[in-house]
Amino acid sequence: MVIRMERLKHGLKLYCHYVSISIKSMMQYKTSFFLTALGQFLVSFNVFLGIHFMFLRFHTVNGFTYSEVLLCFSIVLLEFSVAEMIARGFDTFSQMVRTGSFDTILVRPRNEILQVLGSKFELTRIGRMLQATIVFLYAVLHCNVGWNFAKVMTVIFMIVGGTAVFSGLFTVYAAFCFFTLDGLEFMNVFTDGAREFGKYPIGIYGKKMLLFTTFVIPYALVQYYPLLYLTNRTDDVINILIPLCAVFFLIPCYAFWKFGVRHYKSSGS
Amino acid sequence: MITMENVCKSYKVAKRNAGFKAACKAFFHREYEIINALSDVSFTINDGEMVGYIGPNGAGKSSTIKILSGILTPDSGTVLVDGRIPYQDRINHVSNIGVVFGQRSQLWWDVPVIDSFELLRDIYSIPGNLYKNNVEELTELLGLQELLRSPARQLSLGQRMRCEIAASLIHSPKILFLDEPTIGLDAVSKIAVREFIKKQNELHGTTVILTTHDMQDIEALSKRIILVGKGKILLDGSLEEIKKGNANIDETVAELYRSFEI
């Protein structure tokens, strides 16, 4: 156990070192950094406006009020942007596999995922993160949740679980590259798509969708069920802990990744 | 000690004719060809040896290096490096080897070389003292004083290669794999790199396996050569055995290639 903790500590330290190198690299290209961050901010601002204008016409969606939907959306956005910051390095992973630069990762005595993510830390996503935080604070102040300790914990668990779900999806996305040698755009349906339709509580999409997002890709665990608790639609305290279950989603994702690594073929020369 | 016994590795390569029409056809129906990169390769390399691994393009040199460094998994056969199976015990294995891919940079592109070295120190968990000594030694032997503070992308090829080699030795590995380390270097850099590798072997007893097309590399560095062609080992012996009298090394090797029809 102690050795394990020691290894974890060392891994974290190494990740931070990787991140500092990434930041140093990005600072070499100042303009690009600011423009990308601004772009990210504006893109998600659009989504926010979309919700805003819709609620100017309709006042509730399936019984959820404007501020409740906003809370839901802001939490999903926050989960997504944290996951993106950590795991979006996988976005350019297909290039790494195709050109064979994944070789360099394999000849170093560290976990491959740690190295891939470390080498492509996305600080530019800070724009989206900022956006998410602002919307989140706004939603927290304006919805009638009646905050108490349990509810604060629920939100924290939602963010932890949601970050895990999105990170897992990014990992699966990357593992596909070992077989297709190319990124699969269709995977974006599950990542970017989930962020988009995650604006609204998943329950409104119907029963089948709810089942799918409970047992296959566990969005509902980090969004719908805890939201019911936050908005006082249920008193069942199990809903506080449900989001944490979503963390188990990482296990099959990691297994799939390992399976992919074994199929890595490198490139010529 | 490195042993390879009856190792086979094959790739599936997609083939198509040139042109847009052929590309469309291949999109729906792809023709594959199985290429045997390695068939039944066996050899043993002892500690402290310097071995030149030569052969024409596509002979299977890089595949061998990749299997030995744990990147690729062979289809069949056994591979043991210091008692470990590289592709199964990857993390323990790679902390004891150094690899230089001549065609591929291992340094971080946009930051000064010394930053890359420091990250490598953390990756390999090199103790502070050892790291300091190694950097000092490598800096002196490879003449890196002026280079360490420049970003890798602004170095010339020769300068970068010297830094790459230093980076691969920073954790004092017992075995060093060099995949075309002198590719594209000018005469001065080539000689510097060769001298350094030689010295490394003498000072630390590092086992060196080197693939190259530059026969002067082989002549300067290795007593033993292994010749591969079409995935098979055709010859394993000393340079003197192959050389006829005072013939030029390039001609000798060209003659060899012709005699084996590779």
ipTM of the prediction: 0.83
B166 and B139 Cβ atoms separated by less than 8 Å: yes
For all residues of chain B together, what is the average pLDDT? Answer: 87
Helices (H) and strands (E) in chain B, counts: 10, 9
Are A266 and B103 inside 8 Å of each other by CB?
no
Between A35 and B168, residue with greater pLDDT: B168
Are A266 and B71 inside 8 Å of each other by CB?
yes
Buried-state track A184-209, b at ≥16 Cβ within 10 A, e below 16: eeebeebbeebbeebbbbbbebeeeb
Cβ of residue B167 closer than 8 Å to a chain A Cβ: no
Best CA proximity match to A219, nearest among A197, A251, A240, A188: A197
- DSSP state letter for B152: G
Amino acid A232: pLDDT? 85
From chain B, pick out residues whose CB is under 8 angstroms from the CB of A17. 118-119, 122
Amino acid A182: pLDDT? 63
Are B71 and A269 inside 8 Å of each other by CB?
no
Q: What tokens appear for B262 in the block? A: 């590779």
> For residue range B90-123, what is the model confidence (pLDDT) as tens digits?
899 999 999 998 778 888 888 899 999 999 999 9
From chain B, pick out residues whose CB is under 8 angstroms from the CB of A268. 62
Amino acid B244: pLDDT? 65
Cβ of residue A189 closer than 8 Å to a chain B Cβ: no
Amino acid A56: pLDDT? 78
Are B110 and A25 inside 8 Å of each other by CB?
yes
From chain A, pick out residues whose CB is under 8 angstroms from the CB of B97. 107
> Which structural domains are found in chain B, ordered by start?
46-259 (3.40.50.300)
> Apex CA B142: angle with CA B141 and CA B143, to 5°?
95
From chain B, pick out residues whose CB is under 8 angstroms from the CB of A106. 69-71, 90, 94
User: Of the candidates A28, A29, A103, which has its C-beta nearest B101's C-beta?
Assistant: A103
User: Of the candidates A13, A106, A264, which has its C-beta nearest B122's C-beta?
Assistant: A13
Per 3-state DSSP, chain B is made up of helix, strand and coil in percentages (nearest 5) of: 40, 25, 35
B51 and B62 Cβ atoms separated by less than 8 Å: no
* Sequence letter at residue A129: M
Cβ of residue B32 closer than 8 Å to a chain A Cβ: no
Amino acid A183: pLDDT? 59
The distance between the two most distant Cα atoms of chain A, rounded to a whole number of Å, is 63
- E-assigned strand segments in chain B: 2-15, 31-45, 50-54, 76-81, 97-101, 175-179, 207-211, 224-229, 232-238
Amino acid B206: pLDDT? 93
Q: What tokens appear for B162 in the block? A: 């010297």
Amino acid A161: pLDDT? 94
Digit-by-digit pLDDT tens for chain A (269 residues) are 777 788 888 888 888 888 888 888 877 777 887 888 788 778 767 767 777 777 777 777 778 888 888 888 888 888 888 888 888 777 778 888 877 788 888 999 988 888 888 877 777 777 778 878 888 888 888 777 788 898 899 999 999 999 999 999 888 888 888 887 665 666 777 777 777 777 788 888 888 888 888 888 888 888 889 988 888 888 888 888 999 999 999 999 999 998 888 888 776 54
Amino acid A24: pLDDT? 82
> For residue range B25-37, what is the model confidence (pLDDT) as tens digits?
777 777 777 888 8
From chain A, pick out residues whose CB is under 8 angstroms from the CB of B90. 106, 109
